Amino acid sequence: MDPFTPPADSSLWCKNFLLGAATASYQIEGAVNEDGRLPSIWDTFSAVPGKVLAGDTGAVACDHYHRWEADIEMLAGLGLEGYRLSIAWPRVMDAAGAPNRKGLDFYKRLLNRLKEKGITTFVTLYHWDLPQHLEDRGGWLNRETAYRFADYVDLMGRELAGTVDAWATLNEPWCSAYLGYGNGHHAPGLANQRFATQAMHHLLLAHGLAMPVLRANDPASQKGIVANIGRGTPNSDSAADRRAAHRFEVQHNAWILDPLLKGTYPQDLFELWPGTEPLVLDGDMRIIASPLDFLGINYYFRTNVASDGAQGFRDVPLEGVERTQMGWEVYPDGLRDLLIGFKDTYENLPPIYITENGMASDDEVIDGRVDDPQRISFLKRHLAAVDGAIKAGVDIRGYFLWSLMDNFEWAFGYERRFGVVHVDYSTQKRTVKRSAELVAKFLKERRERG
């Protein structure tokens, strides 16, 4: 057996378990000034010296806007069954809210080709590239942005109905709110804890407003949202450290999942961050808690934490553990434990797709090949964790590798390589890594088994 293939009793052999790969518009498309695309907050942010490693930007990225046909052939050639992509809001609407036909036509061609190839399409409507003109009016701190998002979703639902199997309204609102408005690590680069909680509320409101619009415009598709989750473990068995680990998971997981699945914010959150309660209007929580057809889950690592001596927590990095190029600990059990915990916590937990899971490594092309043994081991162990959660009763329908190809990794620029396909950014040559070859081999064997 090769170093990737799951054991014979794994749920992954079920032909109904979808296995695909994911990307995001700003990370791969490039062509930021072409065919009527407007500036996004990431164009603005990455142009500020010191914000992105090596001064990198997404101006060219993987040049997918011009190379999409070959990229789809590559995806199909690997036998991947699903493709999760995102739409660039600044590419499909002008500042007045009118459609940009050239941008829309790009996505129509892309999605139609994917359907011709028999590839299941998961489309994320917001993967962080907010139009800059909306940020100029307050961005996600401005409640009006939630309504502008609903207008954008209305256009996408009407224009792309029938080509999308599953819509996700938002990708990782935790990152948009906390990294964008709470600590300034991501665009738009603001750093105020009160801003983070208000931005989160407007992001979730935008999601809730979008759900009935999608149901009306594209009833045959699935509708959901994607959340990144984090496992927090206590540095010791002390009550203070166990409380710290609980509060880590409150701010990383329950902050998003409680409003979606319970219609309330976790009170522990405002004990951790006192005085940061967002302005919530009557009816908002009911809108946010609109029923989901699926929940997308993104998972990468765990954080070991201790009490900070007050109400919060502090990171205590463990020594002697396996880490990726990002410095993140490889901890597959965290994914299994969180999924099982969500099943026990949320009575109305919808079906789950693992919409991102993967790792960065410093991959090189040597004699025309890219060997990435750590990634192969990482994927096998995390898929085993997913299988463990399925066997514990969690309804998990599929798994998307992050990412199809190396790309612009936000504040880390092009140094960190998450792809199962290597990209030479000077030539745009794609080289399939060994991990992708083994995934393709498994999928071929699964199809042959019937």
How much is the pLDDT for 421? 98
How much is the pLDDT for 343? 98
Average pLDDT over residues 58-69: 98
Q: What is the DSSP letter of 6?
A: P
144 is catalytic: no
Average pLDDT over residues 119-142: 98
273 is in an annotated binding site: no
- CB neighbour burial string for 144-176, b if at least 16 within 10 angstroms, e if fewer: ebbebbbebbbbbbebbeebbbbbbbbbbbbbb
How much is the pLDDT for 1? 59
Query: What's the pLDDT band for 450 if we cut at 50, 70, 90?
Result: confident
- Three-state secondary structure string covering 153-190: HHHHHHHHCCCCCEEEEEECHHHHHHHHHHCCCCCCCC
Rounded to two decimals, what is the model's pTM?
Answer: 0.98
The model's pLDDT over 243-256, given as tens digits with 9 standing for 90+, comes to 999 999 999 999 99
Nearest-5° Cα angle at 75, 104 to 434: 145
d(CA 267, CA 240): 18
448 is catalytic: no
Say if residue 403 is preceded by a cis peptide, omega within 30 of 0: yes
Residue 164, amino acid: V
Query: What's the pLDDT band for 136 if we cut at 50, 70, 90?
Result: very high
The residues pairing with 421 across neighbouring beta strands, listed in sequence order, are: 432
The model's pLDDT over 423-440, given as tens digits with 9 standing for 90+, comes to 999 999 999 999 999 999
How much is the pLDDT for 243? 97
Rg over alpha carbons for the chain, rounded to the nearest Å, is: 21
How much is the pLDDT for 2? 80
The model's pLDDT over 302-324, given as tens digits with 9 standing for 90+, comes to 999 999 999 899 999 999 999 99
The residues pairing with 131 across neighbouring beta strands, listed in sequence order, are: 40
409 is in an annotated binding site: yes
The residues pairing with 295 across neighbouring beta strands, listed in sequence order, are: 225, 352
Phi/psi class of residue 275: alpha, beta or left (left: φ > 0; alpha: ψ in -120 to 50)?
left
The model's pLDDT over 257-287, given as tens digits with 9 standing for 90+, comes to 999 999 999 999 999 999 999 999 999 999 9
410 is in an annotated binding site: yes
DSSP element (H, E) containing 85: strand 82-86
Residue ranges per domain, the chain? 11-449
The model's pLDDT over 150-206, given as tens digits with 9 standing for 90+, comes to 999 999 999 999 999 999 999 999 999 999 999 999 999 999 999 999 999 999 999
Kindly name the residue from 81, 135, 172, 329 that is annotated as catalytic.
172
The model's pLDDT over 367-406, given as tens digits with 9 standing for 90+, comes to 999 999 999 999 999 999 999 999 999 999 999 999 999 9
How much is the pLDDT for 236? 98
CB distance 356 to 402 below 8 Å: yes
d(CA 357, CA 365): 23
Kindly name the residue from 356, 415, 437, 448 that is annotated as catalytic.
356
DSSP element (H, E) containing 385: helix 373-391
The model's pLDDT over 1-56, given as tens digits with 9 standing for 90+, comes to 588 999 999 999 999 999 999 999 999 999 999 999 999 999 999 999 999 999 99
Provide the mean pLDDT of the chain. Answer: 98
* CATH architecture assigned to 11-449: Alpha-Beta Barrel (3.20)
364 is in an annotated binding site: no
| DSSP three-state, residue 338 | helix
Distance of CA 82 to the CA centre of its chain: 15
399 is in an annotated binding site: no
How much is the pLDDT for 105? 98
